[in-house]
A and B are shown apart, each in its own frame.
Chain A
Amino acid sequence: MTTLAGELAPPRAARTRVPTGLAAGATMLLALLGASALAPVLTSYDPYAQNLNAMLLPPSAAHWFGTDNYGRDVFTRVLYGAAIDLRIAVLAVVFPFVFGAVAGAVAGYLGGWVDAAVMRAVDVITAVPFMVLVIAIVAFLGPGELNILVAIGVVDWIVFARLVRGEVLRDKHLEYVTALRALGFSRARIVLRHLLPNALPPAAVFLASDIVLVILTTSALGFLGLGVRPPAPEWGLMISEGRAFIYTGWWAAAMPGFACMYAGIAFILVGDGLADLLRVRGQ
């Protein structure tokens, strides 16, 4: 397993109640989403409005996270940026999740050449480091939000395919599946309506940590100048722009980084918590 799922599995024995980690992660996420949605109320600044008389001001009561080189309020931009980064993160994992799960389920159930074809595709994509392949695809397609989604989609589905395929392989010889087959249900129906839903939980758990990976990747692309367009308050782009001012205004680069880390921790906690819950159910 080349993914975070195994690494993030909770080291402690599962408990029966809702894990504190899950509750904490969900709260953190809700807080971030709420703050981002309520940004126009929470802050009186415009994320794009420049004020050349307030360039690179340090954090203060007026500017909690300071201002950047255009005099824009960094706190405001971090809040508005949450909407962008979380949107990309969620959109970027939806396609690979759906496609990977279906491909994995079909491959696992049908076996034969279909399975071989899917697994070879998985092997090929596994052979190139995730970051390198995403960067290469964006390099050839050109920068921009849509191209980021495409690049991550092309590379990221393999993990879900592998997870679901493993589950389906285990389940497909179970009695109920044999019974369904005997009852004359179509193969498509068996796979999509019965096997797939049962095979999804591990993939769903992995989804949370995959989102972390996608957030980090998106911000890295923004940092390299291959991501979202300026002046959008995307976190990676903000770090990249703020990097030029580490001598005079470290906060411009540091604050969006903390935001990134906050979101990442929230998702990790949710992922760990879900994995915990799943174990409980499995017992």
Chain B
Amino acid sequence: MLRYALGRIGQTVPIALLVTVLIFLLIKLVPGDPASAILGDRATDASVAALRHQWGLDRPIWQQYAVYMRNLATGNLGQSLRYQSPVADMLPARTAVTFFLVVYSLVLSVVIAVPLALVAAAYRDRWPDQVIRASMALPLAAPAFWVGILLLIVFSLKLRLFPADGYGAGFGDHVRHLFLPALTLSYAFASVLCRNLRSSLVDVLQTAYVDFARAKGLRRRVVLFRHVFRAALLPAVTLIGVRLTYAIGGSVVIETVFAIPGLGSWMVDSILARDYVVVQTLTLMFALGTMLINLATDLIYPLFDPRLRMG
């Protein structure tokens, strides 16, 4: 087990290094000289040259990368040109917001999906199953930001149930402020989770030991919960890891819809303001978060799967 874990961590490190190369190269996509593109309206030749020097753009590319990596290693995540302050200073508060949002959306999806999947599996191919499956297919095709806007119209504008912006202060306030965005973010996942959980439930229900349990005269509900549900949970765990990374990507758009001061809205704001260093650093942060989640999923997986634990 330890060996598996170390091996898995060992695989992640070179990937992470390659990811830094990819993200380092992103800024080279800017048409023309990034320094003058960034300084834009108030640029003078001297200020452009100064910025080029500060970023090492006047050096060979491998040296630029070395500088980039040295900065990262020392915790220097770059300077927001727009706000004239280090990205690292602004990062923690915004990361907390996005983290809260993503975890919240995960919780909501589980709360939505699990009961629906149980009902659908229990009434397989009868009308409750058909209705649930049909309604769960819809969210996959709807743009999340559009659903967010609709929720905003209904729950904030018409019903005045939830606030339309911000993060609030304190746990209760966060829960209230982030409810609609988390719901928006969660519905696509809930749909996937529900479909997935239902089909594994159906598979498990068909296996022999369930028939055996049933033959023993156990009540239907007991069988469903005690035997089937636990077995069906395993694929769901992997799925949760995968969808978490989707939620992180989705947060970029959703935070913009709901004016939430997290990493995603910061990224969009920085794109529009050409604050490239921030965009670059945030992309890296999103990537690191994703890699950590994937790693965690892989490390947790064997705890649930006896075959891997023994191997």
Knowing A246-B153, A257-B142, the reply to whether A132 touches B16 (Cβ < 8 A) is no
A46 contacts partner chain B, Cβ-Cβ < 8 Å:
no
Q: Smallest distance from the beta carbon of A122 to chain B beta carbons, Å?
A: 10
Q: Cβ of B272: which chain A residues have Cβ within 8 Å of it?
A: 225
Q: Cβ of A243: which chain B residues have Cβ within 8 Å of it?
A: 149
Assess whether A7 is in contact with B192, with CB atoms less than 8 Å apart.
yes
Assess whether B146 is in contact with A239, with CB atoms less than 8 Å apart.
yes
Q: Cβ of B291: which chain A residues have Cβ within 8 Å of it?
A: 127
Q: Smallest distance from the beta carbon of A217 to chain B beta carbons, Å?
A: 9
A260 contacts partner chain B, Cβ-Cβ < 8 Å:
yes
Assess whether A268 is in contact with B153, with CB atoms less than 8 Å apart.
no
The 0/1 profile, CB within 8 Å of A marked 1, for residues 239-257 of chain B is 1001001101110110010
Assess whether A265 is in contact with B18, with CB atoms less than 8 Å apart.
no
CA distance A223 to B253 in the complex (A): 9
Q: Smallest distance from the beta carbon of B23 to chain A beta carbons, Å?
A: 8
Knowing A7-B196, A136-B26, the reply to whether A265 touches B141 (Cβ < 8 A) is yes
A76 contacts partner chain B, Cβ-Cβ < 8 Å:
no
Q: Smallest distance from the beta carbon of A248 to chain B beta carbons, Å?
A: 11
User: Interface size of B by Cβ–Cβ distance < 8 Å?
Assistant: 58
Counting chain A CB atoms within 10 Å of each CB, which of B23, B198, B283 scores highest? B283
Assess whether A131 is in contact with B283, with CB atoms less than 8 Å apart.
no
Q: Cβ of B147: which chain A residues have Cβ within 8 Å of it?
A: 257
Chain A residue at smallest Cβ distance from B286: A132
CA distance A130 to B147 in the complex (A): 20
- Interface residues in A205-238 by Cβ distance below 8 A to B read 212, 216, 219-220, 223-226, 236
The 0/1 profile, CB within 8 Å of A marked 1, for residues 168-206 of chain B is 000000000000000000000000100110110010000
Q: Cβ of A225: which chain B residues have Cβ within 8 Å of it?
A: 272
Q: Cβ of B280: which chain A residues have Cβ within 8 Å of it?
A: 136
- Interface residues in A227-281 by Cβ distance below 8 A to B read 236, 239, 243, 246-247, 250, 253-254, 257, 260-265, 267-268
Q: Cβ of A246: which chain B residues have Cβ within 8 Å of it?
A: 149, 152-153, 157
Assess whether A11 is in contact with B198, with CB atoms less than 8 Å apart.
yes
Partner of A212 from B141, B153, B239 at Cβ < 8 Å: B141
Counting chain A CB atoms within 10 Å of each CB, which of B18, B145, B150, B196 scores highest? B145
Knowing A142-B31, A226-B271, A260-B141, the reply to whether A128 touches B286 (Cβ < 8 A) is yes
CA distance A125 to B196 in the complex (A): 25
B228 contacts partner chain A, Cβ-Cβ < 8 Å:
no
Interface size class of A (residues with CB under 8 A): 35 or more
Partner of B286 from A125, A129, A226, A268 at Cβ < 8 Å: A129
Q: Smallest distance from the beta carbon of A187 to chain B beta carbons, Å?
A: 28
The 0/1 profile, CB within 8 Å of A marked 1, for residues 48-80 of chain B is 000000000000000000000000000000000
Q: Cβ of B149: which chain A residues have Cβ within 8 Å of it?
A: 239, 243, 246, 253, 257
Assess whether A129 is in contact with B199, with CB atoms less than 8 Å apart.
no
Assess whether B141 is in contact with A7, with CB atoms less than 8 Å apart.
no
Q: Cβ of A265: which chain B residues have Cβ within 8 Å of it?
A: 137-138, 141
B39 contacts partner chain A, Cβ-Cβ < 8 Å:
no
Q: Cβ of A135: which chain B residues have Cβ within 8 Å of it?
A: 252, 267-268, 271
Q: Smallest distance from the beta carbon of A220 to chain B beta carbons, Å?
A: 5
Partner of A124 from B18, B125, B137, B283 at Cβ < 8 Å: B18
Partner of A257 from B15, B30, B150, B195 at Cβ < 8 Å: B150
Q: Smallest distance from the beta carbon of A176 to chain B beta carbons, Å?
A: 33
- Interface residues in A9-32 by Cβ distance below 8 A to B read 9, 11-12
Task: Write the residues of chain B forming the contact surface with A, with a CB cutoff of 8 angstroms.
Answer: 14-16, 18-19, 22-23, 26-27, 29-31, 125, 133, 137-138, 140-147, 149-150, 152-153, 157, 192, 195-196, 198-199, 202, 239, 242, 245-246, 248-250, 252-253, 256, 267-268, 271-272, 276, 279-280, 283, 286-287, 290-291, 294
**Interface pairs (7), CB distance under 8 Å:** A9-B199, A120-B15, A130-B249, A132-B286, A135-B252, A257-B142, A265-B137
